[in-house]
């Protein structure tokens, strides 16, 4: 596998995501599935809570998109993952508990 091949697949994935999904979605590193002869590329999404892996796309050896989740599917996954992320709240444990949060004092 050559660096130029990785760059070509990354560029194809990046262009597809920019056109079909938007600028908050970026491709991860391409991984060649030698058995199937296709490339798998994770789809990452920038959110206010960090960068999340929200899906995966498959490309042919030539760089053609074989499968990819829709924009709506990626947004739904991003929302679901963000809802499950823990939140750090600093303050008085009693006040935090009264506000309805579960207080964790040990790490």
**pLDDT surpassing 90 at residue 101:** no
Tell whether the torsion through CA atoms of 102, 76, 31 and 28 is positive or negative. Answer: negative
Q: What is the mean pLDDT of the chain?
A: 90
Tell whether the torsion through CA atoms of 20, 47, 76 and 65 is positive or negative. Answer: positive
Average pLDDT (88-102) is 83
Average pLDDT (12-41) is 94
Distance between CA atoms of 38 and 73, rounded to whole angstroms? 22
Quote the pTM value: 0.79
- Give the pLDDT confidence score for residue 87 in this predicted structure: 75
Confidence of residue 106 (pLDDT cuts 50, 70, 90): low
- Give the pLDDT confidence score for residue 7 in this predicted structure: 94
**Is residue 7 within 8 Å of residue 27, measured between CB atoms?**
no
**pLDDT surpassing 70 at residue 42:** yes
**Is residue 54 within 8 Å of residue 44, measured between CB atoms?**
yes
- Classify residue 102 by its DSSP letter: P
- Give the pLDDT confidence score for residue 85 in this predicted structure: 83
- Give the pLDDT confidence score for residue 107 in this predicted structure: 57
> 65-67 and 50-60: which strand pairing?
antiparallel
Domain annotation for the chain: domains and CATH numbers: 3-98 (3.30.160)
Burial (Cβ within 10 Å: 0-12, 13-18, ≥19) of residue 21? buried
């Amino acid at each position: 596998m050559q660096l130029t091949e990785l760059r070509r697949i990354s560029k194809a994935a990046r262009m597809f995501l920019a056109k079909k999904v938007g600028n908050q979605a970026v491709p991860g590193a391409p991984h060649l599935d030698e058995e199937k002869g296709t490339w798998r590329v994770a789809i990452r999404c920038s959110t206010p809570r960090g960068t999340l892996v929200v899906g995966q796309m498959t490309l042919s050896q030539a760089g053609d998109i074989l499968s990819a989740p829709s924009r709506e599917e990626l947004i739904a996954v991003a929302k679901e993952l963000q809802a499950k992320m823990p939140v750090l709240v600093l303050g008085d444990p009693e006040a935090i508990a009264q506000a309805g949060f579960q207080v964790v004092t040990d790490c």
